[in-house]
Amino acid sequence: MSKLAHLISVAKGELPADLILANAKVVNVFTDEIEPGNVAICGDRIAGVGDYHQAKQVLDLRGKYLAPGLINGHTHLESSMLEIGQYARAVVPRGTSAVVTDLHEIANVCGLEGIKV
């Protein structure tokens, strides 16, 4: 069975998940609601959110919040004066999983040549 087929079977509840994060308060950023639920994990992927119970391991979150990774939609990494790895170590533990960045300072300092590099 391929990884994708296995993931789909877990999502459909046909196979047990590797891990269930149980009894969570799931932040739904689309509906602006907080919903009780379980999250099924298969390998390094989220298989689904809902009424999942079969898993190799269950972690009871006891009502703790689960939120998707946050996206910083406007940042200038170079203005933080950190290397990218240092920046990631600072923001990832606080929920930021992606950034939209414009490295404008290189253009301010080097002009068009800086952008081409």
Phi, psi of 63 (to 5 degrees): 85, 10
Alpha-carbon distance 8 to 4, whole Å?
6
Lowest-confidence range among 5-9, 52-56, 92-96, 105-109? 105-109
Domains parsed from the chain with CATH numbers: 3-66 (2.30.40.10), 70-116 (no CATH)
pTM of the full structure: 0.70
Q: What is the pLDDT of residues 1-42, one digit of tens each?
A: 899 999 999 999 999 999 999 999 999 988 999 999 999 999
Phi, psi of 67 (to 5 degrees): -130, 150
Q: How far is CA 87 from CA 61, 83, 97, 98, 117, in A?
A: 29, 6, 11, 11, 22
Q: What is the pLDDT of residues 47-89, one digit of tens each?
A: 999 999 999 999 999 999 999 899 999 988 888 888 889 999 9
- What integer pLDDT is reported at residue 109 of this predicted model? 80
